[in-house]
Structures are given as C-alpha cells and as structure tokens.
Amino acid sequence: VVGPQDGFTRQPGAGMMEVANIVPDETQIRQDFGSDESLSSLVASIKQKGLLQPIRIRWDEAIGKHKVVVGGRRLRAVQLAGLERVPVICVDAKISQVEILEEMIFENQHRLDLSDIDVANSYRRYLDLTGCQAKDLAESLHVAPSTVSKALSLLNLDEFVQEQISAGSLSAKAGQAIAKIRNPVVQQQVAAQVVEEGLPAEEVIKRVRQRQGPAAKPKSNAKAKDQIFRLERGLRVIVSSRSSISGQQIVAALRRALELAEAALEAE
C-alpha cells in the first residue's frame, strides 16, 4: 500500500464531483472549442478509461456552483461522454481574476490546439488587468518579448481576418503581416488573396499598397490637443487627440505605442 514511506501525500481539495455542479468560466482563454466532432477522440478516450486528468475548479458564491479554472475542454468532453461524476481539484483559497488568468495562460501556452486569437486575447486581458507591459508578461512566460508583441498585433486585425486565423485558414504569421495595414477593408482583401491564391502575406501587402498609392491625409479644422512628455536627452513623446481624453486613456495609448514599437523593432 502506498503511503508516506514512499513520499506519497494526499492533495487537499482532490476528489470526485457531479458534472452538473460544474460550469465553464465565461472569461476562460479558450473561446473556440471546435465542433463536437473535433472532440470525438477525447470523448472516446473518456468513455473507455474515464477522465485521467482532473479539472481544476473554484467555488463561485454568486452562482452557487463551481467554475472551471483549468479544463474547460475536458468539461465539454465529459458532458458529451455522458459522465455524471469527474475527478477534480478544488482551489479552496480565494484567488483574484489576475491569478486565475495567470494560471490559464501558463497552463495553455504550450498547447498546439489553442487558437492564436485566443492566446492574443488572454495576453491583452492580462495586461489590462495588471497594468504591466508586454515585456513583463514575456519575462513571466519565459518567452521573447517579440512573441508577446506579435501575438498582440493580431488584435489589430479586422474581425473577419481574426476568424480566418481561428478557423486555421490563415496562419498567425500571415496575420501579423496583414496587421501592418490599418484599413480593415484592405485587410479583408489581403486575407482573401492569401487564402485563395496561397501568396505570401508580405507580397500581397506590397501589391495592395502599390495599387492604392500613398494614402491622402484627411483635412480637418479641428484643433489637436497634445499631451507632451519630455524625456532625457531632449526626447519627447506626444499623445495627440482632437477631443478631450482622460489620464487613463493617455496611459493606455502610451502602452499600446510601446507594444507597436517593440513589434516593429523585432520585425526589422
């Protein structure tokens, strides 16, 4: 019999729970679970051997049920498999939204089946919740800052283009190239060409820009409102807006500008 003499200890919060008492977390990283057919292999395995990896859950007082911390796809699979009870590990201590998101990101960062758009959204949520910079998140994940910056650039894409990436029709690398185009209509055109003709994204972007010519600057009589930050060595950073903006909006704009600058440097 296994015991302390073997270095064995029981894990607090581990046990079995009725599936009906577990609900998914609406803020979880994975938003696209795929079709029921895509889960068929996992469902078949669960029917044959049961759920081998426990689902991590936490108690939600507001709804009177346990929410998934890690294991949303497994929960969907056990529901399809018709299981009534599953192994779980319940997080008893109160954890913040930041801690929940951290655990989700760390758990999912090496999973190949996770959508690049879902990853990008999780990074953006983390930065918004914590107020830290992309390089800080990269350090926590032990990845290059460019990995985070390039992932975040996908959120500059038109919704149609993001859907193409989530569906696997367009690669994240192509999406990162297309994100350099500001016009969402042109983004859609480029994405369609990449998918239909199999052209490299950079080549398609070059063709579209040549066809459009230089963009004309819109004329406006509105007076811009500038916020100037003077740095060392005579450097200045200017945040300009034609309307009044709050201090939080200025800070958010500066953070976003830093992310774009880091991504541009890595792309050179």
Tokens describing residue 66: 């346990």
Taking the CA atoms of 178, 176, 27 and 50 in sequence, report the sign of the dihedral they define.
positive
| CATH class for the region spanning 101-212 | mainly alpha
pLDDT at 66: 92
* Measured CA distances, 249 to 62, 186, 239, 246 (Å): 31, 27, 10, 5
Long-range contacts of 199-205 (CB under 8 A, 24+ apart): 200/174, 201/173, 201/174, 201/175, 201/177, 202/177, 205/177, 205/178, 205/180, 205/181
Strand, helix or coil for residue 89: strand
Average pLDDT of the residues of the chain: 81
Q: What are the sequence ranges of the domains in the chain?
A: 10-95, 101-212, 225-267
131-142 per-position pLDDT tens digit: 888 988 888 888
Q: Looking at residues 1-9, what average pLDDT do you find?
A: 69
Q: Looking at residues 78-97, what average pLDDT do you find?
A: 87
Of 127, 111, 95, give the one whose Cα is nearest residue 25. 95
What is the dotted CATH code of the domain comprising 10-95?
3.90.1530.10
pTM for the complete prediction? 0.55
In this model, does residue 219 exceed pLDDT 80?
no
Long-range contacts of 255-263 (CB under 8 A, 24+ apart): 255/127, 255/133, 258/133, 258/134, 259/133, 259/134, 259/149, 259/152, 260/149, 260/153, 262/134, 262/135, 262/145, 262/146, 262/149, 263/146, 263/149, 263/150, 263/152, 263/153
Reported confidence tier of residue 160, pLDDT bands at 50, 70, 90: very high
Reported confidence tier of residue 110, pLDDT bands at 50, 70, 90: low
pLDDT at 203: 79
Q: Is 165 exposed, middle or buried (0-12, 13-18, 19+ CB in 10 A)?
A: buried
12-59 per-position pLDDT tens digit: 788 999 999 999 887 776 665 555 556 787 888 889 888 888 998 988
Reported confidence tier of residue 154, pLDDT bands at 50, 70, 90: very high
Task: For residues 176 and 124, give the distance between their C-alpha atoms in angstroms, rounded to a whole number.
Answer: 16
